[in-house]
Structure 1
Amino acid sequence: MTTERIAENVKFAYWVPNVSGGLVTSTIEQRTDWNYEYNVKLARTAENNGFEYALSQVRYEASYGAEFQHESISFSLALLLATERLKLIAAVHPGLWQPGVLAKLGATADHLSGGRFAVNVVSGWFKDEFTHLGEPWLEHDERYRRTAEFLQVLRKIWTEDEVDFRGDFYRIHDFTLKPKPLNTPQRPNPEIFQGGNSTAARRNGGRYADWYFSNGKDFDGVTEQLVEVRDHARDANREVKFGLNGFIIARDTEREAKEVLREIVAKADKPAVDGFRAAVQQAGASTADKRGMWADSTYEDLVQYNDGFRTQLIGTPEQIAERISAYRRRGVDLILGGFLHFQEEIEYFGTRVLPLVREIEAAERDSIAPPFQASA
């Protein structure tokens, strides 16, 4: 089963390790680091191995294995200035950011980087980050109503003059941003990503974002989300692209890859996983239809805190390339990858897996017969 639009080539992004603890909540060795020097080297490695995007995480204080955190916007700008082609997606929380201030910062970052700045708008999953800063914690669907306004205001300020917006959460009066972000035919404005799995998140993604980010999903889960998100986009006379999170374990043999997964789970930091599970499943289950993020995640799923094992990108290069291609045929435009040992595994992915994905895509294009033309 496919959606009505399939990308010619799937794009690749990676999670920036700008928080400590790596991408799995486990005591297994993770050869990665949250410091700037490591991340500069990693970003350059990624852009030289076929990755077009990187996503900076957002956490404001220690939680569930992430004792230290670099702020996402400033860290993204630093990596933009250290690279040449990589696009940085900075995660932000409405309620902790004012959209006009973010629009101003984003326009500056866009100019400094030659048009490579993007944002991922996250409606908030960790109550303590808001309450510890003295900000109100809104009910789930109210957070997404605020995000809907945030997305609209951000785009208006980036594209219009004398912006006027009267919402329940934001009031903008005759505001003009100068300079606007860079505007090119290839990318008119900074790309806006919307994260989440819930009904409200899908609606926001379809109506207001350029991209919708999903937690890890199998084929059926991806198709169900894609259909709904693109229905919302169609109703709004627009188009949205789809990004999917997946934790990638590529090894020379399937047995090696599965043994790595087994060890990750066996060495899970149980108190941290249990604490994270209690926090996020309450948030997911708080939606009226129980379709929020993490609402049905198992303990094993949450050892990778964005359900990345569910996407099943675990095996040989050939197996992973085939599965990525199958996701593309269902409508996925981008794979957001997490890794155990970032530096060497992104290199391995770029040299062993990504070329196979491109070969599959090229073979599929070649298999489509050209239209019949009568001879003169």
Structure 2
Amino acid sequence: MVDEIDNTTINTAVQSVVEGEQLTRRDGLALLAQPVEDLAVAADYVRSRFGDGTVDACSIVNAKAGNCAEDCGFCAQSVHFDTGIDTYGFLDPMEILTAAKRAERDGAQRFGIVVAEKGVSKEQRPGEWEEVLRAIRLVRDKTDVEVDASLGILTEEEAQILAEEGINHYNHNIETSPRFFPEIVETHSFEDRVKTLEIAKEAGMDLCAGVILGMGETPTDRVEAAIALQDVGISSLPVNVLNPVAGTPLGEQFGDSANITTEEIIRTIAVYRLLHPHARVRLTGGREVNLSKDEQHLPFEAGADGILTGDYLTTDGQSPGDDIKMMEAAGMRPNMDANEFDVGAVKARADDDDDNPQTAAGTATSNAEMGD
């Protein structure tokens, strides 16, 4: 047991988790009310009990940017909002491979091909569908990273093809609780997102699905979202923190920072670890904006064990070398299950590029060529 915690609620919850029981909504709400210091210790204990002491890094490429017909209130890529981002159709698969090789060099274990649209459609856009498959094959065959994808809503046939092509994790975030979801998105439903996750899982892909914190949701919404993810069954839980983008509804509402404190971020991640003891709880977008550089290690001392490294879809990230230094500050080390890489070289590049950090992937067209 966690001897240093004198808290019956937390100790009972940890004991249940260790004995293989799944915590409930009621447990999650009770835990959320506990002191953050005790929650962090308990979550770190559960992570160490079921994890391997590593931080698993993924990286992404924005393979098709902007002009999305959906109206997600946080998204710079929606055609409904004037955000001034660059827009383009599906990238040449060789550009995607370039981004994947960069991610591989900089320590990513998995690489996600992401598009901004409701769904890549085999029937409606067969040419684009074939380019997606070509990109998957190139990354699969020419790198050591696991290939993931975030391609929107899927049919059963599309999911089966993606699984057969070797997609490891399918990402489709639920964003928030069922109750709060209609406040953020009107053009599709929470149930639509869950249905795609179920289809992807049935086809044989692991699931990466998570949330965005700080959009105006309540603490109860944060727990409700985690419980919904329990019902789906996920192996990776990305925790984004809103990075408000000018021109989006949430950017206009919140300005420069999310509607959440550092303590609430840490508290939520700790509770998510206890509710999802076997998943990678992955700190992803918005961490650089909402946590200072001296605070970024704290979620990894409160149960987190995954990260999205490099650039995001439309915003910059910090360098992979700085991410590794942050892991080490939390007493952890990079995962190398899929891709063994030179940790020292990655950190050295961060030191060399302090004024202009070269991040792992993000938008492939902004990256230096690395050959095929």
Sort the TM-score into its range (normalised by shorter chain).
Answer: 0.3 to 0.5
Q: TM-score if structure 2 supplies the norm length?
A: 0.44
Q: Bigger radius of gyration, 1 or 2?
A: 1
Q: TM-score if structure 1 supplies the norm length?
A: 0.44
